[in-house]
């Protein structure tokens, strides 16, 4: 019997890459249902055309389903809902508000309430073999030190509402383990494709590239602060390959996996490597970190630099994400996380070609 798949988060970048990887890894695909918002229908249809053409797959494999995870029964009419639930074998939940500056109310509505309603709906899938939920490594919030894949509950607080609501959402999914065949994926900071550099948005380490590009007129650009914490950047193709593999292994049900770099670079190393690759120069001195914080509290400055102030804590927060379970589970595949320095040339090339593309810029507030 062929598998029937259901995805939220389409036509988003990560969901689209997951679908392409699914087509590469699996040959027993019967149907792929894609839950979309009405406003994204045209974009979604174009994306399906592209995926179908690139991978020689019939358009009939895909079916767009208009719905809304923030509504009960994910806003599907009963006939559509029954049709999907009667044959569904694999579900992937990626729909979320990922913005680090997102206010509490919309973050809670989409990330928490939306996950609860999807969980409830999926309980009606009688043939469901696997439910893969995309969390984030940063449900750890302000915890420091070693953080293990089996850990979740803590009272250390969070750096923003994105982290807080994803934490609440993961708790809801963890609670479904007695009802649903759950696997939880916790990615690190996702960057562009390791070979092409393609990415949807210039956030995370790309903010450093914005900084360097803006300040390249200076004789020398300094380090900001002496923190030398781990920088957990992982390319999108590693995340998608690992996720599709893990979501088809019976032994991963009930487990949680950090898809972070097992051998992360230090933040100062990344800072130096990115500057050298983009500008051909190295930082020669260090300014206090409070200088960076102070400048980014001024709206015109952060807009000119095109940097979110909410990003800074991720470059100074000291913790280590253990990946023992993920590494062990992936050892029988050929899937490994590449070292970040090997990804940098592709990232830089793509950034240079697209740095003026407004669609890839994060809204600065």
Q: What does the pLDDT read at residue 59?
A: 86
Q: Confidence class of residue 226 from pLDDT cuts 50, 70 and 90?
A: confident
Shortest CA distance to 61 belongs to which of 46, 49, 74? 49
Position 123 scores a pLDDT of 98
pLDDT value at residue 7 = 98
pLDDT at residue 364 in the model: 84
Predicted confidence band of residue 323 (pLDDT cuts 50, 70, 90): very high
Between 27 and 92, the more confident residue is 92
At residue 327's C-alpha, the angle toward residues 324 and 329, to 5°, is 105
In this prediction, residues 141-152 reach a mean pLDDT of 97
Query: 19: which 2 tokens?
Result: 């679908």
Mean pLDDT of the chain: 95
DSSP 359: G
Structure letter (DSSP) for residue 356: T
In angstroms, the Cα distances linking 87 to 28, 31, 52 are 14, 9, 22
Residue 38 structure tokens: 């009405």
Which pLDDT belongs to residue 227?
A: 78
pTM of the model: 0.96
The predicted model gives 29-44 an average pLDDT of: 97
Q: What is the pLDDT of residue 228?
A: 84
pLDDT confidence bin for 315, thresholds 50/70/90: confident
Q: What is the pLDDT of residues 198-221, one digit of tens each?
A: 999 999 999 999 999 999 999 999
Residue 79 has pLDDT above 90, yes or no: yes
Which residues in the chain belong to E strands, given as ranges? 3-7, 29-36, 62-66, 90-93, 130-134, 145-147, 182-187, 189-191, 223-224, 230-231, 233-235, 256-259, 265-266, 286-287, 319-321
With 0-12 / 13-18 / 19 or more C-beta atoms within 10 angstroms meaning exposed / middle / buried, residue 269 is middle
Per-residue confidence (pLDDT) for residue 3, from 0 to 100 = 97
Q: Between residues 290 and 253, which one has the greater pLDDT?
A: 253
C-alpha atoms less than 13 angstroms from C-alpha of 64 in its C-beta half-sphere: 18
**Virtual torsion, Cα 53, 57, 58, 59, nearest 10 deg:** -60
Count of CB atoms situated within 10 Å of the CB of 45:
15
């Amino acid at each position: 019997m062929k598998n029937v798949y259901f995805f939220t988060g389409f036509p988003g970048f990560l969901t689209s890459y997951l679908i392409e990887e699914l087509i590469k890894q699996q040959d027993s695909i019967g149907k792929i249902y894609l839950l979309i918002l009405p406003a994204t229908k045209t974009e979604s249809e174009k994306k399906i055309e592209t995926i179908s053409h690139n991978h020689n797959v019939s358009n009939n494999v895909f079916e767009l389903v208009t719905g809304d995870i923030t509504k009960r029964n994910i806003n599907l009419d009963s006939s559509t809902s029954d049709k999907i639930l009667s044959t569904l074998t694999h579900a992937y939940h990626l729909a979320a508000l990922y913005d680090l500056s997102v206010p509490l109310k919309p973050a809670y509505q989409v990330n928490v309430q939306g996950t609860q309603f999807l969980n409830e709906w999926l309980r009606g899938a009688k043939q469901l073999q696997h439910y893969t939920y995309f969390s984030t490594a940063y449900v750890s919030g302000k915890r420091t030190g070693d953080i293990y894949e089996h850990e979740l509950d803590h009272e250390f607080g969070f750096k923003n509402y994105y982290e807080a609501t994803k934490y609440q959402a993961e708790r809801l999914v963890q609670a479904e383990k007695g009802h649903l065949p759950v696997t939880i994926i916790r990615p690190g900071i996702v960057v562009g494709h390791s070979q092409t550099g393609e990415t949807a948005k210039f956030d995370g380490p790309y903010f450093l590239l914005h900084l360097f590009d803006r300040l390249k007129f200076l004789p020398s650009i300094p380090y900001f602060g002496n923190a030398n914490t781990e920088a957990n950047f992982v390319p999108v193709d590693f995340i998608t390959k690992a996720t599709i593999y893990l979501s088809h292994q019976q032994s991963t049900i009930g487990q949680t996996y950090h898809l972070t770099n097992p051998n992360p670079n230090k933040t100062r190393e990344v800072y130096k490597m990115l500057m050298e690759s983009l500008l051909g120069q190295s930082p020669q001195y260090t300014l206090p970190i409070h200088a960076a914080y102070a400048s980014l509290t001024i709206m015109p400055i952060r807009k000119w630099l095109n940097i979110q102030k909410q990003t800074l804590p991720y470059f100074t927060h000291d913790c280590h994400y253990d990946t023992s379970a993920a590494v062990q589970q992936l050892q029988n595949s050929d899937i490994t996380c590449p070292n970040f320095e090997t990804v940098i040339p592709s990232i830089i090339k793509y950034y240079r070609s697209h740095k003026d593309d407004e669609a890839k810029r994060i809204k600065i507030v």
